[in-house]
Amino acid sequence: METLKREEDAFGQLLWACYEENEAVEIIERDDGLISVYDPRVYFSDPKHWPVFEREAMRFVKGRVLDIGCGAGRHALYLQRKDFDVLGIDKSLLAIEICKLRGIRKAKVMSVEDAWFRKDRFDTIIMMGNNFGLLGGFRKARRLLKRFHRMTSKDAVIVAETRDPYKTEKRVHLEYHRLNRRRRRMAGQVRIRIRFEKCATGWFDYLFVSKDEMKEILRGTGWKIRQFIDSKNSQYVAIIEK
């Protein structure tokens, strides 16, 4: 996998600015022109400030852990402090550098597409912070989930956070759902890029799914839903087992 060029690693530069306690704003641009702004301090948040459903999800983690899209490493760091053997991976070199500076012992520059490990390597895969979305789309998600099945132990679990895209009344989102259907894409399959100051990532697909859609994606991959953990809004975590 090629390392991102500095001008393409907007996410990493955003995290670095936040890490150095400078003012930083995350800008997400969707391919229909929608601009959303977020506070990146959440990537460094202490567990005591996490929402209840997120803390509840951590109870299902066991054994050797792969944190996909680890960002600044808040989940990996929490689990490492609980004596779990955790490997964090992220496509951003700067994100991984921050993870190491924060004390994470195992962190590697790697995209979800390149995540390939030996059989039975992990007991838990976590995809928190909506990172089920990194699976991108229906076919890609099924392909990667089958790969995850091969590289995890017989009683492994996936702890994956996402958002139900249909729990909205905002016209701009409903219109985007219709646009996606016309393009023969899943309604919650957004095409976005991250911007920070003068930098921007390339465009990439990020997937939000309903619970029924997640069940359909899992069918035939060797995984099934154990349970869902709901939040007070559209966010939820799926506990997925073999």
Q: What is the CATH number of domain 6-241?
A: 3.40.50.150
Residue ranges of domains in the chain = 6-241
Q: Given a cut of 80, is residue 79 above it in pLDDT?
A: yes
Count of alpha carbons within 13 angstroms of residue 128, beta-carbon side: 28
- pLDDT bracket for residue 23 (50, 70, 90): confident
Residue 1's pLDDT band, with cuts at 50, 70 and 90, is very low
The model's pLDDT over 119-136, given as tens digits with 9 standing for 90+, comes to: 999 999 999 999 999 999
pLDDT of the residue at 8: 83
What is the pLDDT confidence band of residue 3, given thresholds at 50, 70 and 90? low
Which residues face 241 on adjacent strands? Answer: 157, 224
pLDDT at 9 (0 to 100): 93
Size of the chain, expressed as the number of residues it contains: 242
| Mean pLDDT over the full length of the chain | 96
